[in-house]
Structure 1
């Protein structure tokens, strides 16, 4: 079989490089944080990221596809941190590390927390279905830690890992948003300690 015209082999629409995705991710979050996802245009995102508008359309096809891909990119960045924390040998330490990593991520990308909260509870939302799937992926990482606690006999009786994981992820999102919108003067360590006070009984720890 001959190569496509122009000598290109492989898919007609090559994948974005990580550098380009990160530029677009950062640019979109800056703009979304200022005005919300609905009012931001592809032209503005491209200009903010320093890439050509045509490049954005070539790689993504539409604004909805662009935002969808950026949501997935952001969640994968967060998920990679949570997986690393969840991999700690002691499940109590792993749960505390997961909290710390989530707060650290939302500290770096507060607009992402805002976007997640606004779109998850926005009905109808252009990216709600995507966000529900992504939320489930993140909650599943947390649930893995809680399952380990349950297997070790360190989860309080009656606590269901699936429900607790969803509740903890929601708590981290809302706490992060409250932190950056209403209490930006608080340190990450202060916010982290407040959350850990709530979950130490769940994690089977009473020390700091």
Structure 2
């Protein structure tokens, strides 16, 4: 077992979801300004209105804290993606709603998207195991949505399902973050339509 894995197994849960949400919002704001390496636990605790001792007691080190906050952010995103799935709707419409939820999440937490994009492919990364686990969870939800589309519509079977999942996954982060950072004039609907073009290319006429 690696040192990182051992550390993550020892993590203590936060006292309440409210405390974790405060820490999540505070850390995302600070990390968005200076990057993960430039933020201290003292600053995160002060911004969240909790004591440094509380942070260390519940989460351990700074790297463990950020690992848990990454999990918390993905929990929020997953809940929104799952809420968009309506079994009674056309699966393409459900996919569109799901991508809309992803765009809303990126708009609300752009610093989370920046942290994800900047650290997820860094090798080595302190949070490499955490990212791998969370990425799998998100891809499973996207994969299930694609599966429902394939069950309802004729699709291009020459397209790798795994590559399609990854394309949708990556597009949600990159398109959402690009809109927030460089093109605020682009509407939510334009962003959703751009990502849905990937899915519509998968469905045969």
Match of 2:156 in 1: 156
CA distance in 2, matches of 1:202, 1:179: 24
Q: Distance in 2 between matches of 1:38 and 1:204?
A: 47
Number of matched residues?
Answer: 193
Displacement after TM superposition at 1:146 (Å): 0.9
| Matched-pair contact (CA < 8 Å) for 2:28–2:112 | yes
Q: Does 1:70 align with 2:69?
A: yes
Q: Which residue of 1 aligns with 2:7?
A: none
Distance in 2 between residues matched to 1:46 and 1:15, nearest whole Å: 13
Alignment check: 8 A CA contact 2:120 2:128 kept: yes
Structure 1 residues without counterparts, runs of 5 or longer = 1-12
- Change in CA separation of 1:92 and 1:204 when aligned onto 2, cut-off 3 Å: farther
Give the TM-score taking structure 2 as reference length: 0.87
Deviations 1:138-165 (A, max 9, x none): 0110100111222234322312322211
Question: 1:86–1:141: 8 Å Cα contact kept in structure 2?
Answer: no
Do the aligned residues in 1 keep the contact of 2:84 with 2:98 (CA within 8 Å)?
yes
Residue 106 (structure 1) aligns with:
106
What is the distance in 1 between the residues matched to 2:52 and 2:126? 21
Q: Which runs of 5+ in 2 are unaligned?
A: 1-11
Over residues 34-75 of structure 1, what are the superposed CA-to-partner deviations in whole Å (9 max), with x where a residue is unaligned?
A: 000111100000001011111101101111110000000000
Q: 1:91-114 CA deviation, whole Å, 9 max, x = no partner?
A: 111111111111111111011110
Q: Does 1:120 align with 2:120?
A: yes
Map of 2:142 onto structure 1: 142
Q: C-alpha separation between the residues in 2 aligned to 1:125 and 1:86? A: 33
Structure-to-structure mapping, 1:1-208, within 5 angstroms: 15-89=14-88, 90-202=90-202
Distance in 2, Cα, partners of 1:49 & 1:199: 40
RMSD of Structure 2 on Structure 1 (CA)? 1.7
